[in-house]
Amino acid sequence: MASSMIRVWLPEPDAAELMGGLPDGMVADVWTGDEQLPDSAGAVEVVVLPFGVPPSRMPVLAKLPRLRLIQLMSAGAEHVIPFVPPGVTLCNARGVHDPAVAEWVLAVILAQVRQLPRFLAAQQAGTWDPVRSEPLAGQTVLIVGYGSIGEAVERMLVPFGVTVERIARRARPGVSGLDDLPAALPNADVVILLVPVTPATTGLVDARFLAQMHDHALLVNAARGPVVDTGALLAELRSGRLRAALDVTEPEPLPDGHPLWSAPGLLLTPHVAGAMSTTGPRVMAVVADQLARYAAGEPLLNIVGSQGY
């Protein structure tokens, strides 16, 4: 093989086929994230990081002397940022999971508003338990972390007749900044968390944040577990003042006996908001485009910079 070929590590054996082949000038090996590295560790320039690589394995990235690009298959990058070697570009897969996560958000909001967990429990107990539920129409939904997923969530919610308010790290037309959170929270019936994990968002949803939400409001976390203070949320759930729907938790996965398992008013799913049958092809399309850009020396997309992502 010519030395000028660009070496890339792909996360699974059929990845190249799913992408419709590699760009000219590229050759691939497979690294699934295990301890055994391909023989090309001294030559690899691009690593498409597999899902689920544990933190204990991340230091290997610093041992790849020719590494120039780490391409993620997720939008979240906080688990990789601390391990990116100097001079290496990190890119995420922003936009890939937007439809799936937006559907999950809509599903859990409707489930909580229409009290489906209560009716499921009644069904399992063999109890006829009719009760009136509130409509979603007319409610105010606050999206905290308004990016591409937030836009997808809004598109799905608008037909239900809700009012959508938007918060992002930096204010822009139609979107308020984080400094406006204290004023926005008391008016929100539903608060959706879509922020990435950064020093500014870790523990963002603390006791003070939750206290600013009005009685019976719903907190939806489709971001990351560390964004929410678990103890503070548990206190609100146990009091019955707030409800929640979580796809992510801190810690994760939840250990046996953790109080979140039995917390009242909580709908819990095991980090599956982005898991759909169409996710794989969407991810591979992003990877294929990024590899083509790298091979052609064109600007890369979705670079995770020093200011976050």
Active site residues: 224, 252, 271
Would you call 177 helix, strand, or coil by DSSP? strand
Q: Does the bond joining 199 to the residue before it have cis omega, within 30 degrees of 0?
A: no
Question: CA dihedral in degrees (198, 204, 105, 214; nearest 10)?
Answer: -170
CA distances to 214, 288, 295 from 48, rounded to whole Å, are 44, 10, 14
Residue 131 has a CB neighbour count (10 Å cut-off) of: 8
- Which residues sit opposite 91 in a β-bridge? 71, 303
Would you call 191 helix, strand, or coil by DSSP? strand
Contact 287, 73 (CB under 8 A): yes
- Which residues sit opposite 209 in a β-bridge? none
